[in-house]
Structure 1
Amino acid sequence: MKSSDTHTAGDFDLESESPAAITLGKKVLAVDAERGYVRASYVAGDNFVNRGGRIYGGFLAAMLDGLCGHAVRLTHRVPGTPQVTLELKTSFIGRADKGILIGEGFVRHRGKSIAFAEAELRNEQGELVARASATFKIGT
């Protein structure tokens, strides 16, 4: 795959996702490796609900971390290059109910050993639910 290719959901399979992403019901909808961009959906079911009947913030943070990390991973010249989240700042903005959430992750800046990314999650009506920014250490 060339880094400038844009892909759709048919280009991906569950084997390329982490067990955590599978647990979150992640389905990749599109990627653009050249831009460091990913769009994905998540399934927030009954097992994601807190006592107030909304999606627990920790699940939303995990989705956002995954989107940021996926966007950064797309920019690696060598597939499989290790990376780790150094910092994740999450803002919970809107109501997150059970159902499908759509997220987008973007690389904002990429250096040799550090990358900065942002992500957003929206409900099926397109309303912003949460937003995050993350810093990643790249390599060992």
Structure 2
Amino acid sequence: MSDLELHPEDQDWESPAAVTLGKRVISVEPGRVKAAYHAGENFLNRGGRIYGGFLAAMLDGLCGHAVRSTIDVPGTPQVTLELKTSFVGRADKGELIGEGWVRHRGKSIAFAEAELRRADGEIVAKGSATFKIGK
């Protein structure tokens, strides 16, 4: 399947990095995505919690996915210019539910936000990102 045939709701649309993070798309609409991640033992730091770098990668992926869902021409490149992450709760192994949304999008720059929550609904991390769209 070529990039032009992939759609944001398709699991095959995901990058190898998203697959490594255990991402499973729950829903997609233009400018918004909801996904689950499975964090196993290999995601843990020495304290037994999910390593912050994995949480940041999940937030970056949620923001990026939300931005990609607004692009009219499949295969249009985008790159993260900035990512801010705030760790606000305990993140244990298991499933995390994330939501990402576009806060503002222009022709070549987009701003997005995301949150990750434990299965019990408690927030563990928040992020915001700036993206360059196109070449």
Coarse TM-score class (shorter-chain normalised) = over 0.9
Report the alpha carbon displacement of residue 13 of structure 1 after superposing the two structures with TM: 4.1
* Corresponding residue number in structure 2 for 1:64: 59
Q: 1:12 to 1:106 in 2, by over 3 A?
A: closer
Whether the 8 Å CA contact 1:14–1:22 is kept in 2: the answer is no
Report the alpha carbon displacement of residue 79 of structure 1 after superposing the two structures with TM: 1.1
Aligned AA for 1:40? Answer: A
Which residues of 2 match residues 32-47 of structure 1 at below 5 A?
Answer: 32-33=29-30, 36-47=31-42
State the alpha-carbon separation in 1 of the partners of residues 10 and 28 from structure 2.
13
Aligned AA for 2:102? Answer: V
Structure 1, unmatched stretches of 5+, are 1-10
* Corresponding residue number in structure 2 for 1:75: 70
* Corresponding residue number in structure 2 for 1:27: 24
- The percent of aligned pairs where both chains have the same amino acid is 77
State the alpha-carbon separation in 1 of the partners of residues 71 and 9 from structure 2.
18
Is structure 2 residue 48 aligned with structure 1 residue 49? no
* Corresponding residue number in structure 2 for 1:91: 86
Q: CA RMSD in A?
A: 1.0
Decide which moves more: 115-124 or 73-82: 73-82
Report the alpha carbon displacement of residue 14 of structure 1 after superposing the two structures with TM: 3.4
Whether the 8 Å CA contact 2:9–2:27 is kept in 1: the answer is no
Report the alpha carbon displacement of residue 47 of structure 1 after superposing the two structures with TM: 0.2
Structure 2, unmatched stretches of 5+, are 1-7
Aligned AA for 2:112? Answer: A
**Paired residue total:** 128
State the alpha-carbon separation in 2 of the partners of residues 46 and 70 from structure 1.
25
